[in-house]
């Protein structure tokens, strides 16, 4: 959303493909509110105090701070549910706050984090309704019994009045529950699985115990329809407008069909039912959630939950359910809220730990008393063992998942942005990211627009002078120089200006030694900076010291420190001599960030009619300006052919699509910095 809100040149995630998007913009609109706030206050801070607000650091921290504030809603809901269930609320709060899920996942703008927040609010409202309904139904039953037992008419009238004054409970929170459930469907369609058990319990209040008639179940279900319909169509319209499948004119004249609308949850389901699509992200055994992911996410708390579920099912099969909580109780509801989503999600072959983080809420409410040392007069081994195991695992997980695992990616982006800002205007940058997750290139803050100003009212073009490339983990370090040389030679060959071409590579420090060993002749490598605090599980540092020759200057401890220092990212600047001539022999499917053609083409069509009738004489010089700093001077030919330009854009878009489909080769010419991206009328 930084691309849309701040006009930053960055690729859209594959989930937001305009053809078949599987992510709703209603989620992005919520988490991108900090960008709106930063964009609003930026000019005032600059004019009043000369503060630069729109910096990479602020773009990274602001959404995280915002989502952290929202995560306190979960704390409030857990506290309220604990009070309703007569559980010591501060026990729950201590266990909940010490979970690394809240310290790591809940401070990032994952859709799973919003799913966790929605799940907490839904559980709170369902529990509130169940408690209120139970109290009111008990009073109603007492009044009915008294009504049948008394004989005097005046007493019957009083009891009838008391019964009529009882607050309504059948449709309480129906609109809130329906809106949360439907919006959660658009945030993550798996929210339907998490919300199934709480909503089922909300619908059956008093029906299973035969305190009320079954017709109440149907009426409660019908009361959910208005909220579902309003939220569903609101999200569908928002997505349809954003992805361009419908327009206001089409709605005004009702020139629409059902296929005109974009329904992202439907696209999400269609995508995930195809095994070939899931295979691209990794296929896992069906037991992974139960055996691996629950211990990873919840630690000893998850093991306690699985043990409780096992005992509960054994009690059912051995006909001892009467000794356990009732099926209609809130304890059973919380137990099923934990195990039901895990079992259903286990049927999907692609399983990640973050998919089950909403199950933290019922686990904390059920087992927090087993993990806290409150008022224990003497040592109890099991109690202290669980306490130590819980906090030890969460501290370890915070260090690994909160700081080390891919921890240097964002910091390397901020450092690269600083390096780019220090370079002369006539420099074209090519940045390679090797053996790391897809970097958030919006932190480079490349402007989408380049404005050209002329006395005659001229035109301008978008020219990208910073290019990013992602090299997959399958490429060995000895191929990095081949890829970098291919990019450099192609950029020099296709450039129509005298721009200096710079190539920067960011790679895990564990691969640095091998990378430097394969440095070609006439090539110099300058180390820009080492970003410490980064772990790539695919290429971890080798901490063994076998075969290492120790010297007086660097003994065993020295070499061990050097190996530990490899938990970092190294940033190198590769320089090529003018005599360097490389014949590219290496081709591979490294990905270039060139997805702006479709966006630019749409913008071009909007102003095409305005350009068509304009003509100028001779050749006009354009001052192309990025932000407020003039970067370069271009010489544009006046004779502009709309049709020819449109064909060129179409050809480049076709080439980009073909490159995505063909994983065996890549046309580096698509990264030409001097391609015409867009021409508009100022």
* Between 608 and 92, the higher pLDDT residue: 92
pLDDT of residue 207: 86
pLDDT of residue 675: 33
The answer to whether residue 529 scores a pLDDT higher than 70 is: yes
Residue whose C-alpha is closest to residue 334's, from 593, 85, 547: 85
Please name the residues in contact with 35: beta carbons below 8 A apart, sequence gap of 6 or more: 1, 2, 5, 6, 59, 62, 63
Q: Name the percent of the chain lying above pLDDT 70.
A: 79
- 8 Å CB contact between 185 and 265: yes
* Between 613 and 275, the higher pLDDT residue: 275
- In whole angstroms, give the CA distance from residue 79 to residue 86: 11
pLDDT of residue 664: 35
Kindly report the number of other CB atoms within 10 A of residue 465's CB atom: 21
Answer positive or negative: Cα dihedral of 30, 31, 37, 43.
Answer: negative
The answer to whether residue 442 scores a pLDDT higher than 70 is: yes
pLDDT of residue 582: 59
Count of positions (residues) in the chain: 682
pLDDT of residue 623: 29
Kindly report each contact of residues 323-331 with a partner whose C-beta sits within 8 Å and lies 24 or more positions away, as own/partner.
Answer: 327/208, 328/201, 328/204, 328/208, 328/209, 330/84, 330/85, 330/127, 330/130, 330/131, 331/85, 331/366
Q: Using alpha carbons only, give the angle 232, 235, 237 rounded to the nearest 5 degrees.
A: 105
Residue whose C-alpha is closest to residue 340's, from 383, 389, 290: 290
Helix (H, G, I), strand (E, B) or coil at 428: strand
The lowest-confidence range among 7-16, 44-53, 461-470, 643-652 is: 643-652
Helix ranges, 264-299 (H): 264-272, 275-281, 288, 294-298
* Between 455 and 387, the higher pLDDT residue: 387
Two tokens at 412?
């390397």
pLDDT of residue 322: 60
CA atoms within 13 A on the CB side of 527: 10
Q: Which residues pair with 626 in a beta bridge?
A: 629
The answer to whether residue 374 scores a pLDDT higher than 70 is: no
Please name the residues in contact with 229: beta carbons below 8 A apart, sequence gap of 6 or more: none
Q: Tell me the chain's radius of gyration from C-alpha atoms.
A: 31
The answer to whether residue 352 scores a pLDDT higher than 80 is: yes
Mean per-residue pLDDT for 647-676?
A: 40
Q: DSSP letters along 490-517, please?
A: HHHHH-SS-PEEEEEEEEEGGGHHHHHH
Based on the number of CB atoms within 10 Å of its own CB, is 258 exposed (0-12), middle (13-18) or buried (19 or more)?
exposed
Mean per-residue pLDDT for 232-248?
A: 91
Identify which of 111-120, 135-144, 450-459 has the greatest average pLDDT. 111-120
- 8 Å CB contact between 201 and 334: no
Beta strands in 493-628 (DSSP E): 500-508, 523-532, 568-576, 591-592, 619-626
Residue 455's pLDDT band, with cuts at 50, 70 and 90, is: low
* Between 1 and 643, the higher pLDDT residue: 1
pLDDT of residue 162: 86
The answer to whether residue 6 scores a pLDDT higher than 80 is: yes
The lowest-confidence range among 180-189, 467-476, 489-498 is: 489-498
- 106 CA to centre of own chain: 11
Residue 646's pLDDT band, with cuts at 50, 70 and 90, is: very low
* Between 623 and 400, the higher pLDDT residue: 400
Mean per-residue pLDDT for 375-400?
A: 83
pTM: 0.82
- In whole angstroms, give the CA distance from residue 434 to residue 592: 12
Residue whose C-alpha is closest to residue 165's, from 132, 200, 129, 140: 140
* Between 582 and 57, the higher pLDDT residue: 57
Residue whose C-alpha is closest to residue 103's, from 47, 76, 64, 143: 64
Helix ranges, 244-329 (H): 248-252, 264-272, 275-281, 288, 294-298, 300-317
- 8 Å CB contact between 202 and 131: no
Mean per-residue pLDDT for 666-674?
A: 33
Residue whose C-alpha is closest to residue 400's, from 473, 474, 299: 299
Mean per-residue pLDDT for 490-518?
A: 84
- In whole angstroms, give the CA distance from residue 592 to residue 126: 48
The answer to whether residue 357 scores a pLDDT higher than 60 is: yes
pLDDT of residue 452: 54
Residue 379's pLDDT band, with cuts at 50, 70 and 90, is: low
pLDDT of residue 3: 82
Taking only the tens place, the pLDDT of each residue in 84-133 is 988 889 889 999 999 999 999 999 999 999 999 999 999 999 999 988 88
Please name the residues in contact with 537: beta carbons below 8 A apart, sequence gap of 6 or more: 405
The answer to whether residue 283 scores a pLDDT higher than 50 is: yes
The answer to whether residue 581 scores a pLDDT higher than 70 is: no
The answer to whether residue 425 scores a pLDDT higher than 50 is: yes
91-124 in b/e burial notation, b at 16+ Cβ within 10 A?
bbbebbebbbbbbbbbbbbbbbbbbbbbbbbbbb
The lowest-confidence range among 203-212, 292-301, 525-534, 593-602 is: 593-602
Mean per-residue pLDDT for 161-176?
A: 83
- 8 Å CB contact between 286 and 342: no
Tell me the pLDDT of the chain averaged across its residues: 80
**Residue 51 φ/ψ region, left for φ over 0, alpha for ψ in the -120 to 50 degree band, beta for the rest:** beta
Residue whose C-alpha is closest to residue 537's, from 440, 441, 435: 435
The answer to whether residue 48 scores a pLDDT higher than 80 is: yes
pLDDT of residue 543: 80
Two tokens at 286?
């069906």
The lowest-confidence range among 70-74, 326-330, 361-365 is: 326-330
The answer to whether residue 208 scores a pLDDT higher than 90 is: no
The answer to whether residue 634 scores a pLDDT higher than 50 is: no
| Nearest-10 Cα torsion for 126, 129, 131, 133 | -140
Place of tokens 């006395």: 455
The lowest-confidence range among 140-154, 229-243, 313-327, 394-408 is: 313-327
- In whole angstroms, give the CA distance from residue 543 to residue 539: 12
Residue 144's pLDDT band, with cuts at 50, 70 and 90, is: confident
Residue 663's pLDDT band, with cuts at 50, 70 and 90, is: very low
* Between 64 and 629, the higher pLDDT residue: 64
**H helix or E strand, kind and range, residue 432:** strand 427-434
pLDDT of residue 88: 87
Distance of CA 247 to CAs 21, 231, 262, 637, Å? 17, 19, 12, 36
Mean per-residue pLDDT for 128-143?
A: 86
């Amino acid at each position: 959303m930084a691309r849309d809100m701040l006009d930053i040149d960055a690729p859209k995630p594959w989930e937001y493909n305009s053809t078949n998007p599987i992510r709703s913009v209603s989620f992005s609109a919520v988490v991108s509110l900090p960008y709106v706030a930063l964009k609003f206050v930026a000019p005032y801070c600059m004019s009043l105090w000369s503060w630069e607000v729109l910096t990479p650091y602020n773009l990274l921290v602001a959404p995280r701070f915002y989502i952290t504030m929202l995560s306190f809603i979960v704390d409030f809901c857990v506290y309220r549910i604990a009070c309703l269930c007569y559980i010591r609320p501060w026990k729950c709060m201590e266990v909940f706050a010490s979970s690394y899920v809240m310290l790591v996942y809940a401070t990032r703008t994952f859709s799973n984090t919003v799913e966790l927040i929605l799940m907490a609010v839904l559980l709170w409202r369902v529990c509130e309704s169940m408690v209120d309904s139970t109290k009111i139904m008990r009073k109603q039953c007492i009044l009915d019994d008294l009504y049948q037992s008394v004989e005097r008419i005046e007493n019957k009238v009083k009891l009838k009045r008391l019964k009529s004054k009882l607050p309504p409970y059948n449709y309480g929170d129906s609109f809130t529950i329906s809106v949360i459930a439907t919006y959660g469907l658009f945030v993550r369609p798996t929210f339907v699985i998490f919300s199934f058990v709480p909503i089922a319990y909300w619908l059956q209040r008093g029906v299973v115990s035969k305190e009320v008639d079954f017709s109440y179940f149907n009426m409660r279900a019908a009361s959910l329809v208005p909220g579902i319909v309003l939220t569903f169509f609101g999200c569908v319209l928002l997505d349809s407008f954003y992805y361009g499948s419908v327009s206001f004119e089409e709605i005004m004249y009702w020139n629409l069909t059902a296929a005109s609308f974009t329904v992202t949850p439907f696209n999400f389901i269609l995508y995930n039912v195809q095994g070939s699509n899931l295979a691209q992200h990794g296929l896992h055994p069906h037991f992974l959630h139960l055996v691996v992911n629950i211990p990873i996410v919840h630690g000893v708390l998850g093991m306690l939950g699985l043990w409780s579920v096992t005992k509960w099912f054994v009690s059912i099969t051995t006909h001892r359910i009467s000794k356990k909580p009732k099926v209609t109780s809130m304890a059973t509801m919380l137990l099923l809220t934990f195990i039901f989503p895990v079992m259903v999600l286990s049927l999907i072959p692609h399983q990640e730990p973050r998919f089950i983080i909403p199950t933290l809420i019922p686990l904390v409410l059920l087992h927090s008393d087993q993990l806290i040392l409150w008022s224990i007069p003497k040592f109890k081994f099991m109690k202290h063992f669980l306490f130590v195991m819980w906090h030890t695992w969460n501290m370890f997980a915070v260090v690994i998942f909160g700081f080390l695992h891919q921890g240097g990616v964002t910091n390397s982006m901020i450092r690269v942005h600083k390096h780019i800002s220090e370079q002369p205007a006539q420099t074209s940058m090519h940045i390679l990211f090797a053996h790391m997750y897809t970097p958030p290139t919006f932190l480079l803050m490349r402007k989408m627009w380049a404005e050209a100003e002329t006395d005659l009212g001229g035109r301008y073009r978008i020219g990208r002078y910073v290019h990013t490339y992602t090299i997959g983990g399958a490429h060995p370090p000895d191929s990095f120089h081949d890829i970098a040389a291919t990019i450099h030679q192609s950029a020099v060959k296709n450039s129509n200006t005298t721009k200096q071409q710079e190539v920067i590579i960011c790679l895990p420090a564990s691969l640095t030694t091998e990378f430097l060993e394969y440095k070609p002749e006439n090539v110099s490598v300058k180390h820009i900076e080492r970003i410490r605090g980064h772990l790539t599980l695919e290429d971890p540092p080798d901490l063994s010291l076998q075969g290492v020759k120790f010297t007086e200057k660097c003994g065993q401890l020295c070499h061990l420190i050097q190996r530990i220092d490899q938990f970092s990212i190294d940033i190198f600047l590769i320089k090529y001599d003018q005599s360097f001539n490389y014949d590219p022999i290496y081709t591979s499917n490294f990905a270039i960030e060139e997805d702006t053609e479709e966006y630019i083409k749409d913008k071009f069509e909007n102003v095409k009619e305005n350009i068509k009738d304009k003509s100028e004489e001779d050749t006009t010089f354009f001052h192309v300006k990025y932000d407020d700093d003039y970067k370069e001077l271009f010489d544009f030919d006046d004779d502009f052919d709309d049709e020819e330009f449109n064909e060129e854009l179409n050809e480049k878009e076709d080439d980009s699509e073909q490159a995505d489909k063909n994983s065996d080769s890549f046309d580096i010419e698509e990264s030409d910095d001097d391609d015409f991206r867009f021409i508009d009328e100022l």
